[in-house]
Amino acid sequence: MIASGWADGFLPVVLSFGVLRVTGSAGELGLVLACQSAIALLVTMAGGVAGDRFPRGRILVLSLLARMTAAAALAATLLTGTASFGLLLAAAGAYGCADGFFGPVSGALLPDVVPRAQLAPANALIGGTTSSASIVAPALAGILVAAFGPGAGFAVQAVMLGIAAGVLATARLATSRPAPTSRVGPLRLVKEGWEEFTERRWLWLLTGQWTVFSLAVLAPVAVLGPVIATRDLGGARAWGVISGCLALGGVGGQLAAGRIKPPVRPAFVIACLAPAMTAEALALGFGAPLPFVALGAAITGLALGAQAVFFQTAMQATIPPGVLARVAAIDLVGSEGGQPIGYALAGPVAAVAGAHPFLATSATTMFIAAVAFTLVRPLHARI
């Protein structure tokens, strides 16, 4: 999965600057990102059903190969100067479709091969290893894009995804198979997953919080961060440094979370980490210089990394393995459901209000709301 982590680290930088190179528009960058994430969300539920019905390792390999194909197509068109906004939109959609299968299946695979008592360290090890690869990747992608253009970045990413697919296929992960569900219809499978999801108040409360967070913070930063970096902070190299610091913080948070005993009230701990996740957006919004934005990104990554380990471990420890992929899919659809809207709106709203005021206002509002959210009583319960 190290090669996959490298590829994931490349994507935010090369895709953002690829769209900006072709269109020069923050609004159209938002539409491309919205297309990718919306399609990923639309097929995520299908990915969850497939993950509980077919060999999970095989699904992961096919997802990586499909993403490799999309990245290779983007590389070819950008390097030959034939890329257009429509082509970027279509390739981003294809990439998002493959990614929609990867998310819920990868989260459900770990309990198949790791004892329950070792889930937290295993989540931390996998997250830390893949994120370690993505520390250097954004900075390298920024240097590569600045020197040779985004087409070269996509070419390198396609190679990484091909390596990841080959490694997973060689590891024979496809032999792991979920509980048989072949005689159960897809709608019934979705209903069973929904029932498991709604029975856990802490789960749907945190999912709802992430819906708002992805709309108000994650999506605007993804769209406006490269624009601010280009205009005020030094361009692709600066955004690569910021993205690298975010990944570095993520590694630290994951490794720290894996070394401590899982909290008995993980939902409350996750909620307490949410205010720190606004640090990068606050620094960008208030026009901080590059070192302070990089520090804010590291703080955001630290909180994101820790909460990812706590959240994944809580789900894997409390939800039956045979329905875990479907519950993970429902969580992904809900928690990331705000991102396509945020992507589409960030550019137009920033054009009217200004990128800095918009980010400062949304991040400050989210910080206050996240602090208040920690007081919600169901989050304090033991899981």
* pLDDT tens track for 209-240: 999 998 999 889 988 998 898 888 888 788 88
Statement: residue 128 has pLDDT above 70: no
Please give the pLDDT value at position 168: 77
What whole-number distance in Å separates Cα of residue 94 and Cα of residue 16? 16
67 within 8 A of 98, measured Cβ to Cβ: yes
Average pLDDT of span 291-305:
93
- The pLDDT value recorded for residue 300 is 95
- Distance, in Å, from the CA atom of 49 to the CA atom of 55, rounded to the nearest integer, reads 11
Query: If you average pLDDT over residues 259-283, what whole number do you get?
Result: 90
Q: What does R_g of the chain's alpha carbons equal in angstroms?
A: 20
Say how many C-beta atoms besides its own lie within 10 A of residue 216's C-beta. 21
**pLDDT band, very low/low/confident/very high, at 175 (cuts 50, 70, 90):** very low
Give counts: helices (H), strands (E), the chain: 16, 0
**283 pLDDT tier (thresholds 50, 70, 90):** very high
pLDDT, tens only, 48-83: 777 677 777 788 888 889 889 988 998 999 998 888
- pLDDT of res. 30: 77
With beta carbons less than 8 A apart as the criterion, state whether 86 and 32 touch.
no
- Domains identified in the chain and CATH numbers: 2-178+186-380 (1.20.1250.20)
What values do phi and psi take at 235, rounded to 5?
95, -150
Quickly list DSSP for 202-242.
HHHHHHHHHHHHIIIIIHHHHHHHHHHIIIII-SHHHHHHH
pLDDT of 360 above 90: yes
- pTM of the predicted model as reported, rounded to 2 decimal places: 0.68
What is the predicted pLDDT for the residue at 122? 59
pLDDT on residue 174: 42
Contact criterion met (CB below 8 Å) for 252 and 266: no
Enter the tokens of residue 362.
């949304």
pLDDT recorded at residue 320: 83
The pLDDT value given to residue 340:
81
Whole-number percent of the chain with pLDDT over 90: 18
Q: Identify the residue whose tokens are 């992904």.
A: 332
**Tokens matching residue 381:** 């319960």
